[in-house]
Amino acid sequence: MPIYEYRATGKGCDYCRGGFEVKQRIDAKPLGKCPKCQALIRRLMSRFRTFVAETSDEVSATEKKVREFEKEGRWSHAAELADKSGLEDRARENYRKAGYEL
């Protein structure tokens, strides 16, 4: 469900003067009054940002190789490669599966 922002159009309480957010269905009718003080409010246009994380071919190849080792049950190999690649949590998990005590 999307989150919509609302703010008082004139006088209102501290809640609506500063603006507030409401989770609503896309097809829901916009609110017209503040739920606390009944002052007139309007829905604001929200600005959103996106983030796309791209990984290098080298990182993708390393993660693929770790997955292959895991599929084959070669936990110590997977752990060692993950450890060298900066995947500490995954390395710890694979070391445990290989029987090492950490």
Residue 28: HSE in the Cβ half-sphere, 13 Å Cα cutoff: 13
Structure tokens given for 2: 């999307």
Is 51 within the bounds of a domain?
no
Nearby residues of 98 by Cβ (< 8 Å), 6 or more positions away? 75, 76, 79
Is 52 within the bounds of a domain?
no
Is 31 within the bounds of a domain?
yes
Is 72 within the bounds of a domain?
yes
pLDDT of the residue at 69: 94
Q: How many domains does the chain have?
A: 2
Is 49 within the bounds of a domain?
no
Tell which phi-psi region holds residue 25, choosing left (phi > 0), alpha (psi between -120 and 50) or beta.
Answer: beta
52-79 tens-digit pLDDT: 777 788 888 999 999 999 999 999 999 9
Confidence (pTM): 0.47
Is the CA virtual torsion 21, 24, 28, 34 positive or negative?
negative
pLDDT of the residue at 58: 87
